[in-house]
C-alpha cells in the first residue's frame, strides 16, 4: 500500500516538474533577451563559484 502511494507521489512530482520545464522553455524561447541575461547571470555565478573553491583550497 505504501509503495503505491510513493509511486503516485513520484508520478505527480515528475508531472509537475515536466510542466514547469515546458513553461520555462516556452518563456525563454519567446524572449531571447531573457536567455541572454540568464546566460550572463549563470556565467557570473560559475566564475564566482570557481573563485570560492580556490579560496577554500588555500
**Over the stretch 9-57, which tens digit does the pLDDT of each residue have?**
999 999 999 999 999 899 888 998 988 998 899 898 888 887 877 877 7
Query: Phi and psi (nearest 5°) for 31?
Result: -130, 85
Residue 58: per-residue pLDDT? 61
- Per residue, the 3-state secondary structure of 11-47, as one string, reads HHHHHHHHHHHHHHHHHHHHCHHHHHHHHHHHHHHHH
Q: Which is more confidently placed, 13 or 3?
A: 13
The whole-angstrom separation of Cα 45 and Cα 52 is 10
Q: Does pTM surpass 0.85? A: no
Sign (positive/negative) of CA torsion 15, 18, 10, 7? positive
pLDDT at site 34: 85
Output the pLDDT for position 4. 92
Amino acid at each position: 500500500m505504501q509503495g503505491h502511494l510513493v509511486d503516485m507521489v513520484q508520478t505527480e512530482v515528475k508531472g509537475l516538474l515536466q510542466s514547469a520545464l515546458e513553461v520555462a522553455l516556452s518563456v525563454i524561447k519567446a524572449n531571447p533577451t531573457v536567455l541572454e541575461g540568464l546566460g550572463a547571470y549563470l556565467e557570473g555565478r560559475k566564475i564566482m563559484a570557481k573563485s570560492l573553491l580556490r579560496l577554500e583550497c588555500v
